[in-house]
Amino acid sequence: MNPEFYEMVEVVLITYNRAGCLEKTLEQLLRSPIARCRLTVIDNASPDATPAVCAKYAKLFPDFVIRRNRFNVGISGNYLRALEAAEKEFAWFLCDDDHLDFTHFDEIVTAVTSRKFDIVFLGVPNHTVLPRGTEIRAQDLIRDRRFNYFYTASFIPCIIFRTANVTPEVVLSGYYKISTILSNLCYFVEAVRRNSLIYVCKNDFIFNQQDNVGYRPLHFVVGWINFANGLRKKPQDKPCATAMMHEMLGRSFYPQKIAQYTLFQKGFANQNTGHDAWRLAVESFKAGPIWFLKVLPFVIILLLPGFISRKLWQLAEKLVKAREGRQIKRPTNIEFAEGKDYRG
């Protein structure tokens, strides 16, 4: 492995109130090829044993930095604190609950140490829809409707990025976008403006634990459309706004996910459904009539009695099992089901 990699890359681990998950992740990193990189933990004022876990592992890593927020600043706020803290030439942000596979790690090392690329996308099963093993410009990626540049980038751990492109405007825009929970996408809008050169790894490295989301799934959808609507205000960013809307509603995958979120949220959790229905309708209307009509069925479902959503879910389970021979995965996140909002 090229030793230059250790000096070029800073690993930043974002965490909040999951000391058990954090310890497992740190143990995994301790036995990984990136153990010699600087590891910075951004603790979002966790009330649990997170400080004790950090103190334990600070003695085991060669370059371990702990930054603890005075207050819980939310999931996007903690990401922005991490963005401000990263000091090395490249940064790799990780969460405290994802599994990493270092089998083909040489591919990452080669891409990063070449210094050719502003962004290296790491493969994520069932998430990354990008041209694997390819060098490509950001503007070419967003023009090709087969790919999901922004949706891939929304999963924070699957990117290694050049920190020199973190401008004051990128950080300030991120703070303005905190309510969307998508502050991390501001960097990728800037990458399109710069037409950054990107490398998409051919191998999978991150395995997303999708049950552990810290926000309402429909909050993510509403935030996504709101973020895209904000981009339309600047002519140079309109292509990004168009690409985001096509990624969210222009293909079959994500509308199916929205349907799943809608039926579960109304039928089983019954959490903030009226509020989310209103915001979904307003934001999609701002985006344009085509997008409004696409989300209208979901808005209607959110306004109907919950038993209708449960019946539709049961019908969907039967149809999928009959046609595809598989069971629909029902969301099981306790935080979501109990009605708690997004966390840090």
- CA-nearest of 249, 295, 305, 248 to 274 is 305
Three-class secondary structure of residue 158 per DSSP? helix
How far, in whole angstroms, is CA 293 from its chain's centroid? 26
> What DSSP line would sit under 180-218, residue for residue?
GT-TTHHHHHHHHHHT-EEEEEEEE-EE--GGG-SS-HH
**What's the confidence (pLDDT) of residue 319?**
85
What integer pLDDT is reported at residue 336 of this predicted model? 41
Does the pLDDT at position 340 exceed 60?
A: no
Q: What's the structural domain count of the chain?
A: 2
Tokens in use for 53? 């876990």
Q: In the numeric block, which tokens belong to residue 280?
A: 């979904």
Range of the domain at 319: 217-337
Predicted confidence band at 335 (pLDDT cuts at 50, 70, 90)? very low
Last residue of a domain, one of 185, 210, 235: 210
147 with 251, same domain: the answer is no
pLDDT above 60 for 185: yes
In terms of domains, do 166 and 239 share one?
Answer: no
- Average pLDDT of 186-201? 98
Q: What is the pLDDT of residue 156?
A: 92
> At residue 159, does pLDDT exceed 90?
yes
- CA angle (288 as vertex; 284, 291 as ends), nearest 5: 55
User: Would you say residue 262 lies in a domain?
Assistant: yes
Quote the pLDDT of residue 332: 54
pLDDT, average across residues 173-191: 96
Asked whether residue 25 falls in the same domain as residue 55, the answer is: yes
Q: Domain end: 210, 228, 253, which one?
A: 210
Q: Same domain for 91 and 221?
A: no
Contact 183, 170 (CB under 8 A): no
Amino acid 307: pLDDT: 87
> Is 132 found in the same domain as 265?
no
Residue 341 pLDDT exceeds 60:
no
Task: Tell which residue, 300, 302, 295, 293, has the closest CA to residue 255.
Answer: 295
pLDDT at 344 over 60: no
Helix runs in the chain, H state only: 4-8, 19-30, 50-58, 74-85, 105-113, 138-143, 149-153, 168-176, 185-194, 217-231, 238-249, 253-264, 273-287, 289-303, 306-324, 334-337
Q: What pLDDT score does 54 carry?
A: 96
Q: Are residues 206 and 245 in the same domain?
A: no
* pLDDT score, position 196: 98
pLDDT tens digits for range 261-285:
888 778 877 666 888 899 999 999 9
Q: Compute the average pLDDT of residues 16-35.
A: 94
Query: Among 39-53, 99-113, 169-183, 313-327, where is mean pLDDT lowest?
Result: 313-327
Question: Can you give the CATH number for the domain in which 77 is found?
Answer: 3.90.550.10
- The residue from 181, 210, 239 where one domain ends is 210
Answer yes or no: is 342 within a domain. Answer: no
Tokens of 50: 């997170």
Element (H or E) spanning 35, and its range?
none
Q: What is the pLDDT of residues 44-103, one digit of tens each?
A: 999 999 999 999 999 999 999 999 999 999 989 999 999 999 999 999 999 988 889 999
In a domain, 343, yes or no: no
Q: What are phi and psi of 243, to 5 degrees?
A: -60, -40
* Mean of per-residue pLDDT scores for the chain: 89
Nearest in space to 117 (alpha carbons), one of 154, 157, 162: 162
